Structures are given as structure tokens and as C-alpha cells.
A = this chain, B = another copy of it.
């Protein structure tokens, strides 16, 4: 067992990360919706996330407060520069994790599901290790 301080620090770190999961998911999804050309409406976001529209409305208040999105009334949601930057980081990470799982031989459906959960907890260092493994091709079957 690790010493109390490290373990405690680890758990604190994980709790901290958990608080950002929703924000990351929203920002990534909004960016995807905008990139696909359609507008990002509350109802679209709600459908994609599988939650109700009021739930989305409440989260958007938070996203606006934290400076990631702006809203044009009845015209949908838009990303600020900070939101765009976050979206790009998150999407790149998400894709890399999913690609890595696929390269490992995990089936497509599982890779998608697992990546959705894991992505938020993969550090830059680990991401770099994934990237290296992919590049050197050691995982190919």
C-alpha cells in the first residue's frame, strides 16, 4: 500500500478531474455540433447527451460563467476562444485514446465506450506514451 500522503493526493487528483468531466464533454460535443455545420441548440445537446433540455440549460449557465461558451438567443450556442481551445485539446485526446484502444485490438464498440470514460483521466505523459506506441507500430496485429 502506498503511504498515506501519496494515496490521499491520488484520490484528491481524481476527484478534481471528475469535476471537469462534464465541462469537457459539453465543450467537445458543442464543437462537434458546430463543426458539422448544424447549430448547437440546447435540444440537440440534450439528445446527444441523453439528458433533458433543462439539464442542458443549467449546465450552459455554468459554461458561460466559466467563459467557455456564449449564447445568441434562439440562435444556439457558440464557443469562446477558451472553449475552442479546450475543445481541440479534449477532442485530440479522445481520438488518440480511442485509436490506441483500436490498435490494441479492442473492438470498435468497446473502444468507443471505454474511450468516453477513460479520456478524462489520461494525462499528457500517458498520452505521449500512447502516441509513441502507435507510431512505432508495436501494437499492430
Contacts and interface: CB of A to CB of B under 8 A. Distances in A.
Contacts of A36: 1
Given A4-B48, A138-B138, A118 B116 contact: no
A17 interface: yes
Contacts of A50: 8-9, 11-12, 15
A113 B101 CA distance: 20
A110 B127 CA distance: 11
Contact of A130 (B7, B9, B48, B104): B104
A110 B49 CA distance: 30
Nearest to A97: B118
A48 B8 contact: yes
A112 interface: yes
Q: A25, A117, A138: which has the most chain B beta carbons within 10 Å?
A: A117
Protomer copies: 2
Contacts of A47: 4, 8
B120 A117 contact: yes
A82 to B, nearest CB: 23
B125 A107 contact: yes
Interface of A: 1-2, 4, 6-15, 17-18, 21, 25, 32-33, 36, 47-50, 101, 104-107, 110-114, 116-118, 120-123, 125-126, 129-130, 132-133, 138-139
